[in-house]
């Protein structure tokens, strides 16, 4: 296995990690990333193999020791289906999928269009930040409505989510960890109050359906209920925020407004391929397994480089090119296997509507300054996208 070195905290790398991925793919389908101390899958074939092989999974074979200052954060993480394997993962995912049916998501289209149109109509005169004006509020308002939590708390949801996701960035600080722990404690406490209220006065939201499932004896504990709602709120908007920002940037830089108006769904797929929000997803190796001719030993932690797989020239013609007319097919943007993103249908619908709404309402929308990349890896998104209409 060949080795490669690249600091994930290097500002130049964070601004544009794709040249590194190209170098990594040239070394092999599985290479050892020195700074992460683990093998990484660089191609679509290798990434899919890692994500789908049941001899590898998310759940750590040995429970990690939790520092005292992170007890609240890991109390939530301990019940997250994203970090679990069957049978607990199967049970939790099955409950959530009952609400995330294609029919349920399709039924939200009018609501999503209304929110997107309202936000777009309120854009100020002169240059403004599209991230804070549109990319952030749209997904958080949509997922809040879906789950049935007060939209008035959208700012808190965004703050809590941002702080908790900060635990997954490269080079996190003690201040990042303290913020994540505090956010987890506040988030869980607030949801406990919401759940207590809903038990008394149930409705038709996703939270109500999860409570009903718990009460029908499907073994969803109170802790699992809180964690599942936090996961859905966080995952339900965090990646979509980045995808909208990355996508609008690509649309404006490449003159793809017409495609956004006429073929928004296929354009969304190209956005997810070209510049996805999640770049690295880890797995634990449960038994010796061979991937792309490399033996991965039991106990190894490794990762699939999702964004590198999406630029694999063996799968995509001229993958470095943003092509609104591309028929994308399979990407790694939502992962694969049993941990494939449950919110993928909702995210795809939101992205298509977001791009179509923006470019139909403001056909002359243009960049007013150089986009500012958020200084984090392995999530990729914009800190600021200054535009004018």
CA angle 117, 119, 123 (to 5 degrees): 115
- pLDDT tens-digit map of 237-267: 789 999 999 999 999 999 999 999 999 999 9
The Cα–Cα gap between 214 and 212 comes to 5
pLDDT > 90 fraction of the chain, expressed in percent and rounded: 74
pLDDT of amino acid 362? 97
* DSSP, residue by residue, 131-168: IIIIITHHHHHHHHHHHT--GGGHHHHHHHHHHHHGGG
- What is 3-388's CATH number? 1.10.630.10
- The pLDDT mean for the chain works out to 93
| 93-117 mean pLDDT | 87
Mean pLDDT of 32-61: 97
* Percentage of the chain modeled with pLDDT above 70: 97
Q: Which residues pair with 280 in a beta bridge?
A: 305
pLDDT, residue 211, reads 83
pLDDT at residue number 123 = 97
Closest CA to 118 of 134, 99, 139: 134
Beta strands in 171-250 (DSSP E): none
Dmax over Cα atoms in the chain, in whole Å?
59
Local structure of 109: helix, strand or coil: helix
> What tokens were used for 283?
């797995």
Torsion of the alpha carbons at 147, 150, 154 and 160, rounded to the nearest 10? -70
Q: Which residue has the tokens 């063996």?
A: 314
Residue 98 confidence (pLDDT): 73
Is the pLDDT at 218 greater than 70? The verdict is: no
Asked which of 10-24, 69-83, 164-178, 318-332 is least confident by mean pLDDT, the reply is: 164-178
Is residue 81 pLDDT above 60, yes or no? yes
* Alpha-carbon gap, residue 340 to 124, rounded angstroms: 38
Nearest alpha-carbon partner for 210 in 230, 190, 237: 230
Distance, CA of 253 to CA of 249 (rounded, Å): 6
Confidence tier at 344 by pLDDT (50, 70, 90): very high
Going by their DSSP bridges, the two strands 38-41 and 301-305 should be labelled as parallel
Position 336 pLDDT exceeds 70: yes
> If you average pLDDT over residues 15-39, what whole number do you get?
98
Q: What is the mean pLDDT of residues 266-275?
A: 98
């Amino acid at each position: 296995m060949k080795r490669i070195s690249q600091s994930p905290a290097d500002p130049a790398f964070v601004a544009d990690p794709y040249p590194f991925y190209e170098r990594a793919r040239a070394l092999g389908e599985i290479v050892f990333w020195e700074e992460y101390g683990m093998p990484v899958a660089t191609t679509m074939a290798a990434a899919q193999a890692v994500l789908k092989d049941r001899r590898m999974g998310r759940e750590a074979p040995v429970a990690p020791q939790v520092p005292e200052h992170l007890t609240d954060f890991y109390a939530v993480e301990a019940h997250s289906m994203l970090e679990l394997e069957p049978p607990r993962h199967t049970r939790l995912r099955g409950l959530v999928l009952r609400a995330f049916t294609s029919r349920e998501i399709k039924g939200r289209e009018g609501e999503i269009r209304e929110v997107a149109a309202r936000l777009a109509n309120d854009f100020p005169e002169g240059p403004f930040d599209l991230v804070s004006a549109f990319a952030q509020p749209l997904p958080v308002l949509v997922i809040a409505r879906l789950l049935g939590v007060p939209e008035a708390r959208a700012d808190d949801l965004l703050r809590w989510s941002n702080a908790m996701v900060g635990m997954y960035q490269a080079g996190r600080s003690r201040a990042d960890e303290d913020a994540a722990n505090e956010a987890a404690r506040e988030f869980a406490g607030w949801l406990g109050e919401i759940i207590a209220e809903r038990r008394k006065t149930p409705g038709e939201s996703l939270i109500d359906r999860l409570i009903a499932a718990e009460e029908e004896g499907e073994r969803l504990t109170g802790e699992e209920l809180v964690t599942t709602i936090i996961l859905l709120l966080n995952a339900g908007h965090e990646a979509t925020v980045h995808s909208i920002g990355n996508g609008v940037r690509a649309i404006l830089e490449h003159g793809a407004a017409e495609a956004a108006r006429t073929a928004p769904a296929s354009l969304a797929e190209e956005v997810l391929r070209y510049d996805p929000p999640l770049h690295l997803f880890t797995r634990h190796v449960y038994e010796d397994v061979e991937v792309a001719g490399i033996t991965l030993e039991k106990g190894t932690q490794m990762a699939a480089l999702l964004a590198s797989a999406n630029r694999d020239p063996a799968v995509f013609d001229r993958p470095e090119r943003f092509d609104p007319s591309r028929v994308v097919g399979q990407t790694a943007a939502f992962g694969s296997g049993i941990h494939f993103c449950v919110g993928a249908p909702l995210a795809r619908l939101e992205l298509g509507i977001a791009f179509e709404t923006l470019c139909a309402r403001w056909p002359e929308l243009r960049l007013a300054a150089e986009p500012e990349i958020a200084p984090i890896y392995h999530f990729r998104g914009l800190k600021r996208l200054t535009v004018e209409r």
